[in-house]
Amino acid sequence: MVRQMRSHDVAHRPGVAKLLHCPRCGLSVAPRVHWLAIKHCPRCLARRHLAVELVPREPPAREPARSAFG
- pTM: predicted TM-score of the whole model, two decimal places: 0.60
Where do the H-state alpha helices sit in 1-70? 7-10, 42-48
What H or E segment, with its residue span, contains residue 20?
A: strand 20-21
In this prediction, residue 10 carries a pLDDT of: 44
Radius of gyration over alpha carbons of the chain, in Å?
Answer: 16
In this prediction, residue 7 carries a pLDDT of: 47
pLDDT tens for residues 7-62?
Answer: 444 444 555 558 999 999 999 999 888 888 899 999 999 999 999 999 998 776 77
Residues 6+ apart with CB under 8 A from 53: 39, 40, 41
Better pLDDT: 57 or 4:
57
What are the C-alpha distances in Å from 25 to residues 14, 41, 45, 48, 68? 26, 9, 11, 10, 38
In this prediction, residue 37 carries a pLDDT of: 84
Q: Domain spans of the chain? A: 17-56
Q: Does pLDDT of 68 surpass 80?
A: no
